[in-house]
Structure 1
Amino acid sequence: MDKMQELANAFSGETILFIGSGASRRSGLPFWRELIEWLKEYCDRLGGDITTADALIKKDKLLDAASELTHQLEQNNKSLADFFEEYEKNSAFRDAEPSEIHQLLGKLPSQFFVTPNYDLLLEKKFGQNDGFTVVRRGDKEGIGELLHGELDGYVFKYHGCIESPQNIILTYEDYNNEIHNYTDELDCLKTLVKTKTIVFIGAGLDDPDFKFVRDNLINLSGAERLRIWAFMSDCSDEVKYYKRTHGINLISYKSENNHAELLVKLDELVKNIIEVDESKKAAANMVMQEINITTHQENVEINLREVLVAANEEIIPLDEQILGFVALMGVVKKSECTDFLVGFKGNSEADVGNRIDYLVNRGLVKQTPHYLMSVKKRYSTEAAVGIEDDVMAYIAEREDG
C-alpha cells in the first residue's frame, strides 16, 4: 500500500492539519527567508546596522538574523510589532485571499488546523462555518476549550497572528523561550502531537517551524507512538530516514511550477478518502443487515463493536478493559487507569498508552491532558459489566494496601 492510500485510511474527522508557510505562498505571502529580508529592509530604513544580520541570512541562520534585527529595532525605539504594523509589505498578511490549496483543504473531512502562520487565510476560508473558532496565542480560554474537545472546528495560531502583532513569535529568543519555559501553547501542541493524527501541508524540511515541532515535540514524544504525515517537496531520498528516525511519513512531491504537484497530491488524497469512507460505510451496512440491526440509535450502539470490526477497525481485549474501567469510574485520572491496567492486569505501559490513544481518536473515550471520561454509551456499559469483578478486586487491594 502506498503512502497516499495509507494516509487516506488513517484520516478521520479529528485529524489535525498543520499548515505551514508554503500553503500561504500561493496567496502571495512570503517564505521565511523573504520575511526576514523584509525585516532587514525595515531596519535599514530606520538606520539600524544590518551587517551582522545580512551575514547570518547568507548562512541560513534565519532565527539568529531575526534576533539581531530585533535588537537593532530596539536600538531605534522600535519593536517587532511596529515592523508588522508599519512596514507596507506586511499588509499582505491581512489582505491576501485563500488560494487553490485552501479550496482543497475545505474538501477534507476535518476542520481542525494548527499553524505558525500570521495571516488570515484560514479564517477567511473557514471562519463563516458554524462553530469554527480562532484560537490565538495567549488565548488561555480558547486553548482550554480546544484541549477539552469543545470546539467543532478551529485554527490554533500558536505563534501569533497579524491581528495581535505584539504576541508574534519570530526570533531565536522567542523559540528558545518556548522550548525551555512551560507555556499553554507548547502544552497544547504536545497533547495534540501525542494523541492525534497530524498532517503537515506546506512546511519544508528546513523550515524553523517544522524543525521546532520535529525536534522538541515529535522526537521527545517517542516516534513509534505517533501518527505524523508530511507533504514535503523534493524529499524522496529522506523518506526512509524520516520514518525510521522521527516516525514521520513523508509524501514527496516536486517543487517545480510553484509547487503545482502539491495540488495534485491533495486532490488525490481527497478522492482516496472518499473511496475509503464509501468502503467502510458499505462494510458497516453489510454487518448491520446480517445481524438485523435496526436504524434505531440504541441498537446501533449495542453493535458498534461488530460494525467497527467489519469496517476494518481493530478492537482487542485491552480496548474493552479500558472502556470498562473508564465507564465504571466515569471520570478517572490517566495515571490511575494505567495503574490498574499495567500494575493489576499485567499489560505493558506502551500498549496501554497506544490503545488509549486509539480509543480517543475513534471517539470511544474522551480525554483532557490528565483525565479520561466515559462517553456513557451502551457499549461502554457492556464493557464495564465484563470487567466489574476485576475493578472491585483492584479497589479492595488498594484499600488494603
Structure 2
Amino acid sequence: MAFDINKIPTDLIHSFKNNKGGIFVGAGISQAAGLPNWSGLLRELIDLAENVSYKPNREFLDNCNSLLADPSKFLILAQELKDFLGDSFRKYVIKRFADECPPPIAIHSELIKYPYQFIITTNYDTLLENAYVKEFGKQAKVHSFKDSPDIAYDLWNNRPFILKAHGDANKSQQGIILTETDYRQILFQERGYQSILQSLFTTKTVLFLGSSLSDPELKLLLSFIHSSFHGGGPSHYALIAEDQINSVEAESWRKNFNIQIIPYSPNNSHEEVGEFISLFRTLIV
C-alpha cells in the first residue's frame, strides 16, 4: 500500500516550499512511539489514583472508570483526576513523558527535517527535540506558553522552533495544560501567548498530523483561537483517517477553521501516515 500522491494539495506543497508552513503534531505521532493516547493517559491516571497514599473511595474510582468509557466526558474526567492527584500528577508527567520517554522513531526524524517555520505540539513528551538532537547534533529551539517574547523573536527572524502548546514535561513547573480550566487560568495570564497563537494560524499554513478531530487537546486549542479562523487567512490541512469523518463534518471544519481534510486509510495500523510524511518531505525539500 502507498499513499496516493494526488491527494496532497498543491497549495500545501507550495506553502512549505515558500517557508510558509507549520506543523501541528498530535497524540497519534507519540502513540506510534509507545506513549499513551488520551484514553490511555486517563487510564494511567486512574491507576495512579488507586495507588497513591491518600487513596480515594471506591465510588470515586468507579465514577472515573464510567467516564472513561465516554470520550465526550474526557475533559471532565481529566479535571477530576488532576484535582485529586495534585503534585502526583506533575511527577507523573515528568516520569512518563521525560525521564522514561521512549526513543524517537522514523516519523519524528522525518518531521524535523521538514522546512518548517514551527512545529506546534500538544504532547508533553521530548520525542521531537530528541529526534532533532539525533539528526542535527544540537539542541532544537523549544518554547512553551511562557515564552512569548522568544517565540515572537524567532517568528520575526524566521528561526524554526518547536512550541509545546500544552506544556513541556521537562518544564512542568511552568504548568501543564490538561483541562479547560487550565486554559482559562494559564492563558488568561499569558496575553502575549494568545497573540502568538493567533498569529501562527493567520499567517502560516498548518499541517495537522497525528490528530483525530475528536481529540480533546485539539478541540481545546481550536476553540481558544476560533475567532482567528474567520476571514481571508491561509488554508490549513489535516491528515485524518477516512473512517473518522464524513463529508458533512469535513465541510464544517473547512468553514469553521479553514481546515481541509486529507483522508487516508487506517488499515495496517495506520501505515499510510508514515507513507504520507515521507512522501510529503520529498515534495517540499
TM-score (norm 1): 0.60
Kept after mapping to 2: 8 A contact 1:20/1:203: yes
Q: Residue 247 of structure 1 aligns to which amino acid in structure 2?
A: N
Shift of 1:112: 2.0
Q: 1:67 aligns with which of 59, 79, 87?
A: 79
Structure number with the bigger relative contact order (C-alpha 8 A, sep ≥ 6) is: 2
Residue 219 of structure 1: how far off its partner (Å): 4.5
Letter in 2 for 1:84: V
CA contact (8 A) 2:25 2:121 kept: yes
Q: 1:231 aligned to 234, 239, 244, which one?
A: 239
Task: Tell me, yes or no, if structure 1 residue 150 matches structure 2 residue 157.
Answer: yes
Alignment partner, residue 221 of structure 2: 213
Q: Please say which structure displays the higher CA radius of gyration.
A: 1
In 2 relative to 1, CA 16–93 (structure 1 residues): closer, same or farther, beyond 3 Å? Answer: farther
Residue ranges of structure 1 left out of the alignment (5+ in a row): 275-401
Change beyond 3 A, Cα 1:93–1:228? farther
Correspondent of 2:46 among 37, 40, 48: 40
Q: Distance in 2 between matches of 1:271 and 1:174?
A: 39
Q: Does 1:113 align with 2:125?
A: no
- Of 244, 258, 269 in structure 1, the residue corresponding to residue 280 of structure 2 is 269
Residue identity over aligned pairs, in percent, reads 26
Q: Distance in 1 between matches of 2:104 and 2:188?
A: 35
In 1, Cα distance between the equivalents of 2:233 and 2:180?
29
From 11, 19, 29, the equivalent of 1:23 is 29
Q: Secondary structure at the match of 2:207?
A: strand
Q: How many residues align?
A: 267
Distance 1:67 1:152 in 2: 36
Check whether the contact 1:131–1:153 (CA below 8 A) recurs between aligned residues.
no
Distance 2:206 2:19 in 1: 12
Aligned partners of 1:17 and 1:112 also within 8 Å: yes
**What does the per-residue CA deviation read over 1:105-126, in whole Å, with 9 as the maximum and x for residues that have no partner?**
1442225211111111111122
CA-CA distance at 1:44 after TM superposition: 1.1
* Pair 57,131 (structure 1): closer, same or farther in 2 beyond 3 Å: closer
Distance 2:41 2:115 in 1: 32
| Cα separation, 1, equivalents of 2:46 and 2:178 | 13
Secondary structure, counterpart of 1:164 in structure 2: helix
Three-state SS of the structure 1 residue aligned to 2:166 is coil
The aligned residue for residue 193 of structure 2 is: 185
Deviations 1:219-256 (A, max 9, x none): 54305423211111223534334223432111111223
Which deviates the most, 23-32 or 225-234?
225-234
- The C-alpha deviation readout for 1:319-376, integer Å capped at 9, x for no partner, is xxxxxxxxxxxxxxxxxxxxxxxxxxxxxxxxxxxxxxxxxxxxxxxxxxxxxxxxxx
Question: Equivalents in 1 of 2:256, 2:224: separation in Å?
Answer: 14
Aligned mate of 1:52, from 60, 63, 88:
63
Q: Provide closer, same or farther for how the CA distance between residues 50 and 245 of structure 1 changes in structure 2, counting only shifts above 3 A.
A: same
Give the match's secondary structure for 1:170.
coil
